[in-house]
Structure 1
Amino acid sequence: MTAGNEFDPQAQPELFSALLTPHRSLNSTGFLVLMGFLSAVSFAAGVAFWLMGAWPVFGFFGLDILAIYWAFRVNFRRARATEEISVTPSELRVRRVSHRGHVVEFVLNPLWVRLDRKTHAEFGIERLTLVSKGRRFTIATFLGPDEKASFANALTDALQAARRGVTYNPIS
């Protein structure tokens, strides 16, 4: 056999791969602009109250800015969470990384996996769950209903392709 004709049974085609992250509409530049604007308005209002003789109010305006800053920092930290889902003919792999860096990974056989959809008549798909051998794994919690529907269709197609098996075309 020549080097170009070698067959590697470990190398399997990836039928599906998705990296899911939480949606955040405010980027770091927008955050700085917003915090600058809120700080300026808060400072101006605080100075106005100070000049009226209500100087303790000035400190409370500062506490409001600190609370808003802390809430956004928590929000940005939680946005670091990810969920990676990949399907090959022999395995479905889900890897979750929490916002704290904790990793949970599970591997399922795509021949035995069923994708359940919990659908609300008005809102669309609310929850996607992988079911295998009596165990349930909720996936794609970051996505909205329309995104979940698109994701579920793509994952279902990949699972069906895995069930059909790999076809090797020696010509191409």
Structure 2
Amino acid sequence: MITKTQADPLFAAKLTPYRSLSARGQTVLIGVIAAMAAIPSMVFYSLGAWPIVGFMGLDVLGMWLALRWSNRQTRRFEEVTLWPNRLEVREVSPGGKQTTTAFDPHRTRLIVDRDYDEKTLALYLRNDGGDYELGSFLAASEKASFAKVFGTALRRARR
């Protein structure tokens, strides 16, 4: 019998997009938008401009579709796992498709792209194969704090 034992990683993180509105909040928001659209719809309907009601309904439908698409995007995530001899980035798309990319931590550098105000714009893993962007969906402050912690762990893995 062969047993495979894997040591605990030096660093592990799951990067997820920020979700500003809960599912219940989205339901309430759509209800408020529908109520706000119903008031002028009734006025226009009573004045004989009944086609306006359909357009107001399309506005509500458009907002619902936009919120649904946004909610779908929050299902994506990236898992970054660092061992002394291997760095793995597992990316899961909103549809569930998984892609795993492996790097050698001794030959990989973390590149932090900043603007003139020192605001973090992007994070890249750079090795011989090129650049790989990490956490493109994160806010600038989240990218900065992740870069600080992950950069320290990556330096520690090189020792």
Question: Under a length normalisation based on structure 2, what TM-score does the superposition of the two structures give?
Answer: 0.92
Q: Residues 134-149 of structure 1: matches in 2 within 5 Å?
A: 134-149=129-144
1:43–1:123 CA distance, 2 compared to 1 (3 A)? farther
Report deviation, 1:122: 2.3
Which residue of 123, 135, 155 corresponds with 2:150? 155
Alignment correspondent of 1:21: 16
Larger-gyration structure (1/2): 1
User: Which residue type is aligned with residue 66 of structure 2?
Assistant: A
1:18 counterpart SS class: strand
2:81 counterpart SS class: strand
Counterparts of 1:147 and 1:77, CA distance in 2:
21
Q: Does 1:126 align with 2:128?
A: no
Counterparts of 1:101 and 1:9, CA distance in 2:
27
**What is the RMSD computed on CA atoms of the aligned residues?**
1.5
Alignment check: 8 A CA contact 1:79 1:99 kept: yes
User: Which residue type is aligned with residue 29 of structure 1?
Assistant: R
Alignment check: 8 A CA contact 1:89 1:163 kept: yes
Alignment correspondent of 1:78: 73
Q: Percent identity?
A: 36
Q: Which runs of 5+ in 1 are unaligned?
A: 1-7, 165-172
Which residue of 22, 32, 40 corresponds with 1:37? 32
Counterparts of 1:142 and 1:99, CA distance in 2:
12
1:42–1:123 CA distance, 2 compared to 1 (3 A)? farther
Question: Under a length normalisation based on structure 1, what TM-score does the superposition of the two structures give?
Answer: 0.86
Alignment correspondent of 1:87: 82
1:71–1:123 CA distance, 2 compared to 1 (3 A)? farther
Report deviation, 1:11: 2.6
**Count of aligned pairs between the two proteins:** 157
Counterparts of 2:139 and 2:40, CA distance in 1:
39
Alignment correspondent of 1:101: 96
Q: Does 1:52 align with 2:47?
A: yes
1:94–1:51 CA distance, 2 compared to 1 (3 A)? same
Counterparts of 1:10 and 1:155, CA distance in 2:
24
Q: Which runs of 5+ in 2 are unaligned?
A: none
Report deviation, 1:9: 8.6
User: Which residue type is aligned with residue 38 of structure 1?
Assistant: I
